[in-house]
A and B are shown apart, each in its own frame.
Chain A
Amino acid sequence: MSCSEDVSRGVPQGSVLRPLLFIIFINDLDNGVKSKLSKFADDTKLGGKVDIREGGDQIQESINTCVDLAKYWQMEFNLSKCKVLEMGRNNENRDYRMQGVVLERVTQEKDLGVVIDMGDCSTDVTSYLGPGARLDGLEITFQVTEMSALTGSYNTMVGNNEGSMAIGGKLSNMLGRAERLVAQFSYGTKETSYGLSFFKPQTGCFERNITFGLFDVKGQFPWSSVREVDRGVSFDFNFPVWRTRHTVRWEAVWRELSCLSRTASFPVREESGHSLKSSLAHTMVVDCRDSTILPSKGVYLKVNQELAGYTGGDIRFLKEEMELQLNRSLPWGCVSVFCSILFFLGGPTTIRGFNMYSIGPYAESDFLGGDAYWAAGLHLYTPLPFGPGRPGFGDIFRTHLFINAGNLCSLDYGEGLRGHVSRLGSCLRWAYGAGVVLRLGNIARLELNYCFPTGVQLGDR
C-alpha cells in the first residue's frame, strides 16, 4: 500500500467517482441505529412507532447516532431539508432535535415522487370519506397527466408490396372513461384505404374491452393478378381468462375481386365479383415472450377459428389457424422454433427463399392459394461473431441461421382426415440459409439472408 495523502479538494462536479465515494461513505450509516432506516441515494428515512414514550426517545437517539457518524466522516446533514412527518393519531407532538436545531414538523412531504399528505388531523374527516373507507386507512390519490384529447399521427410505410402514407387522428378519452376513437386514412402508391374504430374498455377492467370498426381497404396482389376491395364493419370483444387473451369477433365484409390485368388466368377471372361475408371468429393468444420482434425466450401460441355464413351473407366456410413459437435462451445465443399455418406460403415471413406468396397451386402465372397448409422453422440467433460495437449498437444485430419448411395444397374434401394429412406431407418445400437480422426499435426487423431453397415443386417461384 502506498502512503496516505491529505485531500483538500472535493471531487469535480459530474465525475463518476462522486456517487461511488458517497455510497462508500454512508454505507454504515445504520450501524447502531435501532429505528428503521432506509436509504435511497442521498435520501434517508428514519421511522418508528411512537405510541409509547420510549418510541420517541428511540428515534431521537437514532438521529443523534446518525449525526455522530456523519461528523466522524466529516459530512453534514442539510438541516433545512430534514423534516418530521407524523402519521396517525395520538402523536405526542414531541420536538426532535438534530445538531441542536428543532426539526420542522410537516403534514405533507414528497418522498421519491409520492406526496404523503397527512391532512389536517384536527378536522373531522368523516364527511368526505368514501364508502368502505376505514378511519385508519390510507387515501391514495394518483396525480397523472392526461393525454391530449386529440392526437394526430403521420407515418410512411413500406409494406409487402407498396409504399404508403398513413394519416391518423385519435380522440382519447372521448366520453371520460378511456374510450378511444381512431380514424385512419392511408394513401399508397397503388391504393387508398380508410378506417374508423371506436374502442371502449370496461370500467374498472381495461383488459376487457370492445371495439367497433368500419373499414374500406383496397389491396393489390400481383402474384395472383387480383385486386381486392374490402368494405365492412366489425365488432370485437376482448377479455382475459387467466393468462390467455380471448377475442370474439363478428364482421360483415363486402368483398369485391377484380382482375389486375388483361392477362389474368381464367380461374382467377372466375373468382371476380362481389361477395358478402358475415362471420364469427374466436382467437386465443398466449404470449410470454420478452420481445415481439426478436424474442429470446418465451412461448407464443395463437389459435383462431372463423365460421362464416350462418349469420347472413353468401360465403360459407370454416377456417382453423394455429401459430406456435418457442424461444429459448442458450448460453451463446437463442433458438426459436416456429410453426404456423397460413393460406399463402412463401416469402420472408414464412418460407424464405421462395417468392412472396409463390408456393402452391397455380394457374398460368397466378398463385391461387390453397385450402390447407403448414409451415415450420428453426431459427438460431447469436450475437455477431466478432462482437463489434457491443454493448449498445451491436446489440440490435444478430446472426441468423435457419431452416424453414412447409407445404400448401388444395384439399379434396372427399378424402377425409387421413387423406388431408398425407397430402400435406407430400411435396414438401423447404429452405435453409444464414444471414443477419437487424432489429429496428420495437417495430420491425430487417433481415438479409442467403437461402438455399430445396424441394421446389413445379410452378413455385
Chain B
Amino acid sequence: MLSVESLASQMAAAEPWPENASLYQLPTDDQILLSDAASCLAVQTFLKMCNLPVLVVFRSSAESMSPSGKVPFIHAGNHVVSELGPIVQFVRAKGHSLSESLNEQEKAEMKAYMELVNNSLLTAELYILWCDKNVSSLISRPRYGSPFPFPLDTILARQKQREIVRRMKAVGWAEKTREQVHDEVDQSCRALSQRLGNHKYFFGSPTELDALVFGHLYSLLTTDIPGYSIPEIIRNYPNLTNFCKNIDTHFFLQSNTSKV
C-alpha cells in the first residue's frame, strides 16, 4: 500500500486543487448518525481552515461509495480519498498544510492527541450509538435504515450493528457500563482541556487537530442522546466550549445558530 499511496500522492501533487472538488456525506436530516457527523464536520472544518473550496454533496449511499467504507470522502479531480488522515496527506501533497510550522516534538504531540480523540471520543460515540440497546433501537437503527425500503432497512441496520458490536468487543469496549463510558469521555476532555489551556488553538495556529477536536466536541454538544449526559461533561470545561464557539464563528460564519 505504501507504493500505491506514494504513487497516488505523486499524482496528486501534479495537479492543483480542482474547482469542482466535492465532499460526499450522508444526509443530515434523517440519516446521518453522531459518529459520522463528527467525522464529516472535522473534514469540513479542516478544508475550511486550508481555504480550499469544496462542495458538500449528500448521498444516501455515500458509505458504500467510499473506498474504505467510511464517510466522509472527497472527490477531487480523479482521486477519491476518504477519512481525515488520508485527506490531510492528500492535501499536503498538493502543497497546503496546516502543520508545517510545527517542530518534531509538536508534531508528535499532535499525532498523540488525534489518536486520543479517535481512541476515546470516537469509540465512545460508536458505543453509545450501537451498543446501547435503547439508543440503537430508538435512534440508530431507524436512521441508518431510513433510505431503504422494507425489509432492507432492518437487515442492513442490524448488519451494521453486529459489525460495530464485534469491533467494540475486539477493542474491549463491549463490556463497559454507561458510567465507564462517561469516565472515558471525561478523562479525554480533561486532557484536551489541560492541553488547550487558555489558548485559542492547540498549537498557536489552526491545525488538523483543532479541526478534529471541534468536529467531535461540537457534534457531542449539539446532539441529545437519551440516557447520556455527555454535553454536561464537556460543559464542565469552559475552555473547550469557548474553543468550539470560537471556531464556529470564525470558520462557519454562515451558520446562524450555535447551540453551544
Contacts and interface: CB of A to CB of B under 8 A. Distances in A.
Direct contact of A and B (CB under 8 A): yes
Interface of A: 254, 256-259, 262, 266, 269-270, 272-274, 276, 312-314
Contacts of A314: 148-149
A258 B63 CA distance: 11
17 contacts: A254-B155, A262-B4, A266-B75, A266-B80, A269-B65, A270-B59, A270-B65, A272-B64, A273-B61, A273-B64, A273-B65, A274-B61, A274-B64, A274-B148, A312-B150, A313-B149, A314-B149
Given A259-B67, A274-B64, A274-B156, A269 B149 contact: no
Contacts of A254: 152, 155
Interface string B155-182: 1100000000000000000000000000
Top 4 closest pairs, chain A to chain B, by CB: A273-B61, A273-B64, A272-B64, A276-B152
Contacts of B148: 274, 276, 314
B22 to A, nearest CB: 10
A449 B50 CA distance: 59
A257 B65 CA distance: 9
Contacts of A256: 64
Contacts of B4: 262
B39 interface: no
For chain B, the bracket of interface size reads 10 to 19
A273 B62 CA distance: 8
B123 interface: no
Contacts, number: 36
Interface string B48-87: 0000000000011100110100000001000010000000
Contacts of A276: 148-149, 152
A172 to B, nearest CB: 33
Given A256-B64, A257-B64, 8 more contacts: A270-B59, A270-B65, A272-B65, A273-B60, A274-B64, A274-B156, A313-B149, A314-B148
Given A274-B148, A312-B149, A269 B80 contact: yes
Contacts of B59: 270
Contacts of B75: 266
Nearest to A269: B65
B67 A262 contact: yes
A269 B149 CA distance: 21
A266 B73 CA distance: 12
A429 to B, nearest CB: 28
A262 B156 CA distance: 24
A125 B148 CA distance: 68
